[in-house]
Structure 1
Amino acid sequence: MEKLIEIRDLVVKKNGRRIVDFQGKHIVINKGDKVALIGENGAGKTTFINALLNDVNYEGEIKRSFKKEDIGVVFQGNAYSDLLRVYELIDLVIGIKGDHLNNFLNEFSLKSLYKSYIKDLSIGEQQRLTLALVLYRQATVYLFDELTSGLDYQKREQLLELIKKRTQESTVINITHYFEELDNWATKIIILKNGLVLFYGGITELFRDFPHFSLVQTGCPVNSLKILKETYKLRVIDLSTPRLTKYGIICNNNEQHKLVTDYLSDNNIEYSLCYQNIYTCYIGLAE
């Protein structure tokens, strides 16, 4: 396979603290790879992207088999002048006319927005416009940072379809918190925590390195799970947020899964199930 990016011993420091620390790690991204970069806020994901773009100082080695102009980048926020209309930005960035322009507007569903001021567009409409401009020129490598954050399910699906269609031959590195976006698309996973690489490899390797049957999730008080944790020695993970109490129980096999679900059902405790997937592996590795 043709290597596009090769990374060795990457370290990025800020105020003497290591924001990204891949010391001892060798990461290879090949032509056509679809790489999911996942981790909690502050894990170092955006800093890693900035290092790939050569926009921050770093130690170690990054070999790139392409030029910077061959990269298409879409970040979560896009700053546009309040005075610009959609058609003016399109003309400024890609300068297409006639049939090419009509085809472009139709493909990215921009026709109804053509004469609008960009400041008047919704978040989803602005993201679609930015994505259209970036995808139009068919870059070698695409870097997407929280592209669909803040969008509803339907708008996220629409953007993802455009991305998948336009990037079939390209290499993609995608930062996302939506794990369902990665199913049947990502070929490699990089999991970061506190700037460190917890995992790098393919989906099959991820499932092999963290074998388990399911993740059972519940919002009940942790005391209700005490018997599962202490008597049956099951792993109970705190998945709570400031607004939501939530715990996950890792079940390594079907027997443990049945034990947990029977216990919760017998005690009238509501729960939801996730069988082994990228999300459950991430929870098990990162927590």
Structure 2
Amino acid sequence: MLTINNLDVTFGSHRALHINQEITFEKNDRIGIIGSNGAGKSTLIKTLLGMVPFEGKIESTITPQQMAVHLQENNYSSNVSVKTIMETMLGLKVSDSQELQQLITYFDFDSSLKKRFSKLSGGQKQRLTLIIVLMQQAELTFLDEVSSGLDFETRQTLMTKLTDWFADKSKTLCVVSHYYDELEKLTNKLLLLHQGEVVCFGTKEALFEKYCGYSVITVEDNEQTRNHFSTHRKLAAPSLVLAIACNDEAEELEIVSHCIKSNINYKRRNNDIEIMTLNAKAQEGFVDEK
């Protein structure tokens, strides 16, 4: 569907993106684009949409007009009803489109149609833009921080809705998010960026195995656990977490058995995006600026 080769994007003297490997988005992919602030995530989306000049090569079987995007900031008129905004953006009447009516109902948005945009909650504003974006039924859809600023419950509800909506769609989806649980739900591949460069790209399972191993056992990081597992291979992990790498099932069983005998609480992980991300950057030589 879309292949990136040797892509460079610069703004003045600042190089915002430098991709020196082949990255391919295939039909029906669910790709999570992840990275810290300034990694180049939004710049990449805008480049693929033809909104930003670049050097290099992007081969695509679809045009930017066949793509849809939900950007971080979406501003609408506050002086008219949400229904008017929706009909103006889509160029059709709600009453004339069964597909639009289904989306409105699916996202529980019927009661919001008569409101003005300024009167919507954060979650309702996001649903408005999602309805407009999904109504385009694009071959490739970008969702850029779609749940940013929402409370936990609203975010979880929205992610469940999106996961279910795309479950039976043969479309490609790219999701930018800093919430690991969202990427776990929505994606099957990950593109990890760091300061404009690609750290890694591939399926979640393949990347976890490459950078973490067969599985990871996590325990509380304290003097007791560090002593208990002093001879085992440790991985980079979030604060207060000790991550012990397991190369195979036998090693995993040995570590779990030790945890049980020593009354140490543990969690088994075989597809943890946060731990994978930390170790991918460490092993590929990417260091966060302090």
What secondary structure sits across from 2:74 in the alignment? coil
State how many pairs are aligned: 271
Name the counterpart of 1:132.
131
Shift of 1:155: 2.4
Tell me the amino acid that sits aligned with residue 181 of structure 2. Answer: E
What's the CA shift string for 1:60-100, capped at 9, x where partnerless? 11122112221110022211222132111012112224263
Name the counterpart of 1:192.
193
Matches within 5 A, 1:121-270: 121-167=120-166, 168-183=169-184, 185-210=186-211, 211-216=213-218, 218=220, 227=227, 231-232=230-231, 234-235=233-234, 237=236, 239-240=238-239, 246-252=240-246, 253-254=251-252, 257-258=255-256, 261=259
RMSD after superposition: 2.9
What secondary structure sits across from 1:174 in the alignment? strand
1:16–1:112 Cα change, 3 Å:
same
2:16 to 10, 16, 19: 19
Name the counterpart of 2:88.
92
Tell me the amino acid that sits aligned with residue 10 of structure 2. Answer: K
1:93–1:218 Cα change, 3 Å:
same
Shift of 1:55: 1.8
Tell me the amino acid that sits aligned with residue 51 of structure 2. Answer: D
Alpha-carbon contact 2:35-2:41 (below 8 Å) kept: yes
What secondary structure sits across from 2:104 in the alignment? helix
Tell me the amino acid that sits aligned with residue 12 of structure 1. Answer: V
Tell me the amino acid that sits aligned with residue 142 of structure 1. Answer: T
What secondary structure sits across from 2:236 in the alignment? strand
Distance 1:81 1:272 in 2: 51
Alpha-carbon contact 1:212-1:250 (below 8 Å) kept: no
Name the counterpart of 1:83.
79
- Residue 43 of structure 1 pairs with residue 44 of structure 2: no
Tell me the amino acid that sits aligned with residue 29 of structure 2. Answer: D
Distance 2:255 2:124 in 1: 43
1:184–1:265 Cα change, 3 Å:
same
What's the CA shift string for 1:118-148, capped at 9, x where partnerless? 0111111100010001101211110111111
Post-superposition, which runs of at least 4 consecutive aligned residues in structure 1 deviate over 6 A? Answer: 223-226
Shift of 1:193: 1.8
Distance 1:59 1:51 in 2: 10
Tell me the amino acid that sits aligned with residue 140 of structure 1. Answer: E
Name the counterpart of 1:276.
270
Distance 2:197 2:269 in 1: 26
Shift of 1:18: 2.6
Tell me the amino acid that sits aligned with residue 5 of structure 1. Answer: L
2:63 to 61, 64, 67: 67
Alpha-carbon contact 1:142-1:172 (below 8 Å) kept: yes
What's the CA shift string for 1:37-69, capped at 9, x where partnerless? 112222221111121112222221112211222
Which stretches in structure 1 are left out of the alignment for 5+ residues?
241-245
Distance 1:45 1:228 in 2: 40
What secondary structure sits across from 2:184 in the alignment? coil
Mean CA deviation greater in 198-207 or 141-150: 198-207
1:59–1:161 Cα change, 3 Å:
same
1:77–1:215 Cα change, 3 Å:
farther
Q: TM-score, normalising length from structure 2? A: 0.80
Alpha-carbon contact 1:188-1:202 (below 8 Å) kept: yes
Name the counterpart of 1:243.
none
1:57–1:103 Cα change, 3 Å:
closer
Q: Percent identity?
A: 25
Tell me the amino acid that sits aligned with residue 214 of structure 1. Answer: V
What's the CA shift string for 1:191-212, capped at 9, x where partnerless? 1122221211123322332214
Name the counterpart of 2:286.
none
